Amino acid sequence: NNSCSIHIPQKHKKAAANLIYIISRTSRNQKLSVMGSINGSKNDECVRLLGAWPSPFVLRTRIALNLKRVAYEYLEEEDTLNSESVLNYNPVHKQIPILIHGNKPIRESLNIVMYVDETWLSGPPILPSDPFDRAVARFWDVYIDEHCFTSINGVAVAKDEDERKAAIAKLGQCMALLEETFQECSKGRGFFGGENIGFIDIGFGSMLGPLKVLEKFTGFKFIHPKNTPGLFHWADRFYAHEAVKPVMPDIEKLVEFARLKFNTSIFK
């Protein structure tokens, strides 16, 4: 049954929102995630998320939904390549995450995060209101995908030591540049987005798990208190945030996942 609408009298909605939030914090491994408030508007349409737990791109979507306190059903897709739901809702790329709002599918993680921010006004804004600041945030999230994630993957799939060293060096350069970006964007506050988690925080924070896996196997600290002090303390704050902590994958589980996925010497 795909229906998930619930009628709650206006006077009880605040109490219901608090109860839903508590349930979500204690049910992080269950199929249904219901963090957030239930708004008396068109946004009460059923919200479902097709994803896979190791994916940093799915993690972005879950964090955004949690920040906005949106009630949603999380559907784990174990075989995305052969999933009828994935093929039906994303026939072009056949990839997750896919957010389904009512019967409308929204695809691609950054696109989904922007949709969530624009659709639900509850919770703090994810993207800045200033057009220039919004453009800057979008620029850096694209950079993170095109350079940081590519370098993370490059370290994982490297066929020999020289190839691995080159990928590690490139990833180190990415971290140095993001350290500068953090200092500039945060303006002395806790997150790239200022006082609250923002678009860049979600984009880069979703990569912390894979980075920790690589650190474990390479012995190289990509985020270090000496070389990247801003990112080092930011990562602690990000992990501890109430919208992040319940959905952040366990590192040891990610380690085992990497061993199975990548048949390269680094994981042996």
- Of 23 and 206, the one with more pLDDT: 206
Could you report the per-residue pLDDT of 58-67, keeping only the tens digit for each? Answer: 999 999 999 9
Asked whether 69 and 21 are in contact (CB, 8 A), the reply is yes
Could you report the per-residue pLDDT of 185-242, keeping only the tens digit for each? Answer: 999 999 999 999 999 999 999 999 999 999 999 999 999 999 999 999 999 999 999 9
Above 60 in pLDDT, residue 11? no
Above 90 in pLDDT, residue 14? no
Q: What pairing do the DSSP bridges indicate for beta strands 47-51 and 72-76?
A: parallel
Of 40, 36, 43, 33, whose CA–CA distance to 9 is shortest?
A: 40
Above 90 in pLDDT, residue 261? no
Above 90 in pLDDT, residue 39? no
pLDDT > 90: percent of the chain: 76
Tell me the domains of the chain and their CATH numbers: 10-119 (3.40.30.10), 131-267 (1.20.1050.10)
Asked whether 40 and 64 are in contact (CB, 8 A), the reply is no
Above 90 in pLDDT, residue 16? no
CA distance 175 to 144: 10
pLDDT at 45: 87
Residue appearing with tokens 């879950």: 62
Could you report the per-residue pLDDT of 151-186, keeping only the tens digit for each? Answer: 999 999 998 999 999 999 999 999 999 999 999 999
